[in-house]
Amino acid sequence: MTEKFASWSEVTGLDLVRYGTTADAEEIRDTAVAQPLLVSAGLAAASAVLGPPFVPGAPLPADPSLVDATAGHSVGEFTAAAIAGVLSPEDALALVAERGRGMADAAAQAETGMTAVLGGKREDVLAAIGAAGLTPANDNGSGQIVAAGTTAQLAAFAENPPERARLRPLPVAGAFHTEHMAPAVQRVRTAARGLEPADPAVRLLSNADGAVVGSGTEYLERLIAQVSSPVRWDACTQTLADLGVSALIELTPAGTLTGLAKRALRGVELLAVKTPDDLDRAGALIKEHAGTASSASTQQEG
């Protein structure tokens, strides 16, 4: 594990061990730090559950006989790309580090933010978000949509919220997955030049529309575009349901997606990997459901 994080720290230009253990909350709130840290945590968990012994620079494709599908929420798509073998862990982390820096810079250009809208009729919520000039940046399903835009737009939205909906401002650096992140798109695109993505070894879902993407080149392009495009996790959830998943494992840091899945994927066995003690259970769960559309899933901010 020490060798793994030493390699990943060098790739990202960040001391991931310190940020993950002794840094204070203010330090890791910086999206330029948070994004690589979240992906490294997910990759470490995935490697422990799915991967071969760690070899710097080697790919970490999931065994298609054990995992039928993988998906990531927002920055978690980089973890999913590495799990599926589209990118090596190092390439995924180098790219997400540039993504984090680009999005932090873009967020600093204007006062923007995000607010979770909980409950209300979907049509009413989307209409109110649009009327306020905001973007439904995360459509998470299960009665949760995240509105994003300028702080002035969000303040006006809070004064006239959708009927029967509750609003919860989110502690994020800016309006992610909106037009406000456009400057970061070109930065990530430039950083991605020279990468040679492989086609996925397992079914790999896209946040853009929930589609299963069979081309590594296409998935990389979707990763880049997603920086300023909404996350349709509701569509990903529907695809998982259509595939007939019987188990869903949410990798570290975990809890949000399994919470959503309790409502959206009823009857599916769920596990949130939060501590090392959960790793053995994750491995056992995969073996129990192998070949029955079991799914590894990651969720991360950004």
pLDDT tens digits, one per residue of 48-93 = 888 665 556 666 777 777 888 999 999 999 999 999 999 999 999 9
Q: What is the mean pLDDT of residues 165-171?
A: 96
pLDDT at 105: 97
pTM of the complete model? 0.93
Q: What is the mean pLDDT of residues 91-99?
A: 97
- pLDDT(298) > 90: no
pLDDT at 63: 74
pLDDT digits (tens, 9 = 90+) for 139-167: 999 999 999 999 999 999 999 999 999 99
pLDDT digits (tens, 9 = 90+) for 219-271: 999 999 999 999 999 999 999 999 999 999 999 999 999 999 999 999 999 99
pLDDT at 59: 66
Annotated domain spans of the chain: 2-96+200-219+230-300
pLDDT at 3: 80
Name the architecture of domain 2-96+200-219+230-300. 3-Layer(aba) Sandwich (3.40)
pLDDT at 208: 98
Q: Which of 73, 177, 180, 289 is catalytic?
A: 177
pLDDT at 11: 95
How far CA 236 is from CA of 7, 81, 84, 179, 297, in Å, comes to 32, 15, 16, 22, 10
pLDDT at 64: 74
Q: What is the mean pLDDT of residues 264-289?
A: 92
Q: Which of 7, 9, 74, 246 is catalytic?
A: 74
- pLDDT(302) > 80: no
Q: Which of 243, 74, 90, 38 is nearest to 82 (CA)?
A: 90
> Residue 149 has which token pair?
């835009």
**Contact (CB, 8 A) for 266 and 258:** no
Is 177 known to be catalytic?
yes
Q: Please tell me the distance from the alpha carbon of residue 208 to that of residue 73, in angstroms, as a whole number.
A: 10
